């Protein structure tokens, strides 16, 4: 037994914006039967146009009704423009995410004096961010490079700024990030760990550990030597 095929009638309304609401606002009212569009209204034309022979009677009937055409023409303001501005305000007010900022130092050649500092700002929304490098409170422009802004799979963004520098003892580096989601700039600091003071602390710790082992060894040796010099008591019942 064969069943008659089922067809789905659909109406799709679309608002298209050339440049937000500042440019051309275009309203499309499209009608489908099955999987094929049969007729549609385009505000650029100002009337319904049949796409297939099946849609010709419908298009002619609606074009002849003045109230229908007047209604569609005002929908560009009542539906498209109004909802665009309302959704924009609601979307940008609710959809902001603060960037997570970190500094990663890298050194390609262990013997090289130059260090590449990478400041990464990730997980922020909307796009558009400003990153500055500071050294001892002064903005750096030499040796600074920027990567492309990348969109993540979750619609957030990430951005990187690099600084090639020669860290000196006492230097303090800072990555300063400005974004729409925060009122004040986010600042993350980094201090070189290979400075003279850090090396001095490392050598002091190593020498202390060696001296500690020496004292333990000497103490153990003296303890064992004193044990050997002490006579053992005689077995009970064998003497006297």
Domain ranges of the chain: 9-94, 100-190
How many other C-beta atoms are found inside a 10 Å radius of the C-beta of residue 182?
Answer: 13
Q: How far, in Å, CA of 138 to CA of 9, rounded?
A: 66
What CATH number was assigned to the domain covering residues 100-190? 2.60.40.10
- Secondary-structure percent of the chain, ordered helix, strand, coil, rounded to 5: 30, 35, 35
* Segment of 79-88, 100-109, 115-124 carrying the highest mean pLDDT: 115-124
Tokens of 27: 């309203």
What CATH number was assigned to the domain covering residues 9-94? 3.10.320.10
**Which among 187, 70, 207 is positioned nearest to 130, based on CA atoms?**
187
8 A C-beta contact, residue 62 and residue 30: no
8 A C-beta contact, residue 133 and residue 175: yes
User: What sign for the dihedral angle of Cα 61, 65, 70, 71?
Assistant: negative
Please count the residues of the chain. 240
Q: How far, in Å, CA of 25 to CA of 120, rounded?
A: 39
How confident is the model over 131-158, as pLDDT tens digits?
999 999 999 999 999 999 998 877 789 9
How confident is the model at residue 83, as a pLDDT? Answer: 81
Q: How far, in Å, CA of 110 to CA of 114, rounded?
A: 10
Q: How far, in Å, CA of 188 to CA of 131, rounded?
A: 11
How confident is the model over 27-82, as pLDDT tens digits?
999 999 988 999 999 988 889 999 999 999 989 999 999 998 888 888 888 888 88
Enter the pTM of the model.
Answer: 0.46
Q: How many CA atoms lie within 13 A of 171 on its CB side?
A: 18
Tokens of 125: 């929304």
> Looking up tokens 């039967």, which residue turns up?
33
Mean pLDDT (the chain) is: 79
């Amino acid at each position: 037994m064969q069943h008659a095929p089922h067809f789905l009638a659909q109406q799709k309304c679309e608002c298209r914006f050339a440049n937000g609401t500042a440019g051309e606002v275009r309203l499309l009212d499209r009608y489908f039967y099955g999987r094929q569009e049969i007729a549609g209204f385009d505000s650029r034309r100002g009337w319904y146009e049949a796409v297939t022979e099946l849609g010709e009677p419908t298009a002619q009937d609606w074009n002849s009704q003045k109230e229908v055409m007047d209604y569609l023409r005002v929908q560009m303001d009542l539906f498209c423009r109004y909802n665009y501005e309302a959704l924009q305000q609601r979307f940008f007010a609710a959809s902001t995410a603060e960037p997570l900022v970190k500094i990663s130092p890298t050194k390609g050649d262990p013997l090289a004096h130059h260090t590449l500092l990478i400041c990464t700002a990730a997980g922020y929304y909307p796009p558009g961010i400003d990153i500055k490098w500071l050294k001892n409170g002064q903005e750096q422009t030499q040796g600074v490079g920027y990567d492309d802004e990348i969109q993540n799979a979750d619609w957030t963004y990430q951005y990187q700024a690099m600084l090639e520098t020669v860290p000196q003892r006492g230097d303090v580096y800072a990555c300063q990030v400005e974004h729409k989601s925060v009122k004040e700039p986010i600042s993350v600091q980094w201090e070189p760990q290979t400075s003279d003071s850090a090396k001095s602390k490392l050598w002091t710790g190593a020498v202390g550990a060696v001296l500690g082992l020496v004292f333990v060894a000497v103490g153990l040796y003296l303890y064992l030597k004193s044990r050997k010099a002490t006579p053992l008591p005689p077995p009970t019942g064998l003497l006297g």
